[in-house]
Amino acid sequence: MTRSAGSASSSPRKGERTREGILRVAVNLASVEGLEGLSIGHLAKTLQMSKSGLFAHFGSKVDLQLATIEMARNIFVDHVVRPALAQPAGIPRLWKLCDSWIGHVEEKVFAGGCFFSAASFEFDSRPGPVRAAIVAAMQEWLSTLTRAIDEAKKAGHIKASVNASGFALEIYSMAVGAHWASQLLDQKQALKDARKLILSRIRSEVTAAVRHGELARMLKF
């Protein structure tokens, strides 16, 4: 009885670990070749697995794409969002979000750069569940930035006149533009330049209390 119970409990965990390992390969493959190029056959060949083995985890190409997007979201949260949430609300958290976003591209957390920037361009005009999943992930990211800006306003770090959602979109646009220049145009300095531009833009909207206080040193005033 004990052995059977142990086998039954370990089997789902083993299946989960196998699925996670498959998806981590799928995420990197899709970040380079695109989600549309991600198929069960292609992934099986890359992993040197049978198609039937992959079908046990993903019943269709769309299921595989959706699971890959969710894995990419989890990786992004681990590398970008969670470290920022560990910072105090206000300028420290907002800047950590921006710095970590650029950092995860520089560090090649995803083999092809920013997974969601690439996926957004790939599916922006393709209706369906894959596009909807990408939209949900990007809206979540913009909401996270917007919330961080609102928190900075409440903390007295950012001017009350700043439109949080508009400012979040502005920051996002600078980061995505830098990713495009880095990946497509091979501009090596693009990400470093974006970090400076975003920092400068945040500095332009801080309150006098921040400009002359302790946080000024963190933002290199």
Provide the residue ranges of all domains of the chain, joining segments of one domain with +.
61-218
* pTM over 0.85, yes/no: yes
Class of domain 61-218: mainly alpha
Q: What is the pLDDT of residue 154?
A: 97
Residue 67 dihedral angles phi and psi, to the nearest 5°: -65, -35
Q: Which residue has the tokens 């950012």?
A: 158
Q: What is the pLDDT of residue 213?
A: 79
Digits of tens for pLDDT over the chain (221 positions)? 334 445 445 555 776 788 888 899 999 999 999 999 888 888 888 888 887 877 778 888 899 999 999 999 999 999 999 999 999 999 999 999 999 999 999 999 999 999 999 999 999 999 999 999 999 999 999 999 999 999 999 999 999 999 999 999 999 999 999 999 998 999 989 999 999 999 999 999 999 888 887 777 777 75
Distances (CA, A) of 52 to 43, 49, 58, 122: 12, 8, 10, 28
Nearest CA to 177 out of 168, 190, 165, 189 is that of 190
Q: What is the pLDDT of residue 16?
A: 79
